[in-house]
Amino acid sequence: MGSKRKPKLPASQGSTAVYALSEKDAPWVERFLQQLWLQEGVSEHTRQAYRRDLSALSQYLQQRGSHLLACEAETLHRFLQQRLEQGFHHRSNARCLSSLRRFFRMAREMAWCTQDPTAQVESPRASRSLPKTLTEADVEQLLAAVDIESALGLRDRAMLELMYASGLRVTELVTLPLAQVSLRQGVLRVIGKGNKERLVPMGEEAVQWLERYLQYARPELLNDRQHEALFVTQRAEPLTRQAFWYRIKYHGQQAGLSSSLSPHTLRHAFATHLLNHGADLRSLQMLLGHSDLSTTQIYTHVARERLKSLHQRHHPRG
């Protein structure tokens, strides 16, 4: 299937103007983001998140006549406290602090500065909210709501079936190359976060829908044109994350499901339903592409809540 190559480094998208980085901080932030890409192959979406967090602190410091590489722990404490007063949640502050830690850790390692102000700041403790998910009946209802008489409908059904069968992230799904799909073996070769590769089984149902899509819908959508992406639009281009979000939202409405339905909801359903049927956390971690088992453990809470609900509904003293 070819050797694994890093994608071309995306050009900066006007970060100093859009994200209000000071002139003094912008070059250091861009060096940091480039190093992240070189070391881990992070996506542009992740780069933007880091840039957003760093620019918030940069702007705060600039208003006080300072800059990132001169930031002190006390100033950082005040910055995080101000965010809470402005209405940011503890979880948002924890994520922001995580971005700042990565920056200052690299700044120390690269000798851009001599101190790491985040070393003296504790991460905010926030309760972990349970992921929103679907019941197995909800998933069946969603899949059945797709009109498979059209090429677009057949494509959408295949995409939804594959996402539910494999637990892919939406970015992994819409960027999946056809060459990394083995229908005969029933597996996908997925390049996930941090440019890490994993093999993911699809299951017979998803394989059958993919075969129908590849035989009938994809040729019609391409109309004698070529593209390496598995899932394509009528313009012979891969879907965007936003376009898939719109499609799953539309099919969810047709199925009469909650308006909060999103692509990630199917990933949560995949994980929760596997646990409910006896899967172990380590296997689930590998399938989801989580680098840390603690990330996967959130799903044990989901399964536990379901068991409590079942007990309350069916036990005579529930």
The pLDDT tens digits for 23-52 are 899 999 999 999 888 877 778 888 889 999
Is 308 among the residues known to form the active site? no
pTM (whole model) above 0.75: no
Same domain, 154 and 66: no
CA of 297: how far to CAs of 131, 156, 192, 292, 303, in Å?
12, 30, 19, 9, 10
d(CA 185, CA 207): 10
Q: Is the pLDDT of residue 199 over 50?
A: yes
Q: Is residue 290 flagged as an active site residue?
A: yes
Q: Are residues 277 and 158 in the same domain?
A: yes
Residue of 83, 247, 267, 273 marked catalytic: 267
Same domain, 171 and 305: yes
Whether the pLDDT of residue 182 is over 60: the answer is yes
Residues 143 and 261 in one domain: yes
* Residues 120, 53: Cα–Cα separation, whole Å: 18
What does the pLDDT read at residue 6? 37
64 part of the active site: no
Question: Which of these is catalytic: 31, 90, 193, 227?
Answer: 193
Residue 143 counted as domain residue: yes
Q: Let me know if 264 is a catalytic residue.
A: yes
Q: What is the pLDDT of residues 253-308, one digit of tens each?
A: 999 987 678 888 888 888 888 888 888 777 888 888 876 666 666 666 655 555 56
Average pLDDT over residues 105-119: 91
Q: Could you tell me if residue 142 is inside a domain?
A: yes
Provide the residue range defining the domain that includes 147.
136-314
Q: What is the pLDDT of residue 213?
A: 98
Same-domain status, 255 and 280:
yes
Cβ neighbors of 199 (< 8 A, separation 6 or more) are 187, 188, 189, 190
169 is catalytic: yes
| Total number of domains constituting the chain | 2
Q: CA neighbours within 13 Å on the CB side: how many for 117?
A: 20
218 catalytic per annotation: no
Question: Both 232 and 272 in a single domain?
Answer: yes
Domain co-membership, 144 together with 114: no
